[in-house]
Amino acid sequence: MKIAFIGAGNMASSLIRGLQAGAVPADDIIAADPVQRQLAALADLGVQTTTDNAVAVASADTIVLAIKPQVTGTVLGQLPPLNSHQLVISIVAGIDMSSLQDWLPQGQPIVRCMPNTPALLGAGITGLFANREVSAQQREAASQILNSVGSSVWVAQEAQLDAVTAVSGSGPAYFFLLMESMVASAQRLGLDPSISRQLVVETARGAALMACQPGADPATLRHNVTSPGGTTEAALNTMQAQGLADTVDTALHAARDRAETLAVEFGSKA
């Protein structure tokens, strides 16, 4: 499988490193970007590079769009016509399937993805959605590429990708905000800033590791660490009384609604 990356920024670099760690040969990867500096870093990994997107796609089985939403229509409009066997994988946030189909030849197999930032460390989670033209083998290829920087899930309806955006796409920032609030509170409780940060970050890591155990359920884990009349219960009762669950629900709906709006702003119908 020959893979071409259009855009050689942060996500493309992480995916290429992930693929190489998974034993995909450097010869099977080509990256295109107008910025020579970005390409130089990838050339050091042994992959082919070019400043011409047309050269990159010429012999590719799979083309990964890793560019900003604002330039996507222009970039796709300037590509030579693709053949109907070439799979296009878009990780571009906010560009929906209908826009990609408008900008690409009719009948092009396309997978639209929503990765998240921990992908940069190989710990991402990606939602994927395929149009009807994508074969089982191409689905497998898309999973393999995105799984190289973490894990992935397929959704059956494109609208669910906006929900994925609200949950895992924007999700890291929700945990960062909680950590930020806990660090500030730890200091108000009299702890040093560096100790506060260490306590919070390591607690987040430990809680995430526990939640990642096979069969682990967050509600059960919470129940197991909450003694009746204890300190944890005092904190959790306060969070619940102040409407944490409703706040989270309203916030995720706002993110989902914003994803829908951005798809219109950036898309071919704008």
Would you say 166 and 253 are in contact if contact means Cβ atoms under 8 Å apart?
Answer: yes
User: 114: closest CA among 80, 63, 150, 78?
Assistant: 150
Residues 8-37 that bind ligand NAP (CB under 6 A): 8-12, 32-35
Residues 97-116 that bind ligand NAP (CB under 6 A): 115-116
Would you say 200 and 183 are in contact if contact means Cβ atoms under 8 Å apart?
Answer: yes
Which CB sits closer to ligand NAP, 66 or 87? 66
Which CB sits closer to ligand NAP, 26 or 71? 71
One residue of 16, 76, 91, 97 binding ligand NAP per CB under 6 A: 91
Q: Does 69 bind ligand NAP (CB under 6 A)?
A: yes
Helices 244-266 and 231-241: crossing angle in degrees, nearest 10, is: 50
Please state, in angstroms and rounded to a whole number, the distance separating the CA atoms of residues 184 and 26. Answer: 46
One residue of 2, 17, 68, 139 binding ligand NAP per CB under 6 A: 68
One residue of 4, 47, 67, 130 binding ligand NAP per CB under 6 A: 67
Which CB sits closer to ligand NAP, 69 or 105? 69
Q: Does 123 bind ligand NAP (CB under 6 A)?
A: no
The residues, ordered by sequence, that sit 6+ positions from 158 with a Cβ below 8 Å of its Cβ are 96, 97, 112, 129
The nearest distance, CB 260 to ligand NAP, in angstroms, is 16
Please state, in angstroms and rounded to a whole number, the distance separating the CA atoms of residues 110 and 122. Answer: 24
Residues 165-184 that bind ligand NAP (CB under 6 A): none
> Alpha carbon of 42 to those of 14, 27, 33, 36, 56: distances in Å?
10, 12, 11, 10, 14
The nearest distance, CB 236 to ligand NAP, in angstroms, is 31
Please state, in angstroms and rounded to a whole number, the distance separating the CA atoms of residues 94 and 233. Answer: 40
Q: Does 88 bind ligand NAP (CB under 6 A)?
A: no
Q: Under the rule (CB under 6 A), what is the footprint of ligand NAP?
A: 6-12, 32-35, 38, 53, 66-69, 71, 75, 91-93, 115-117, 119-120
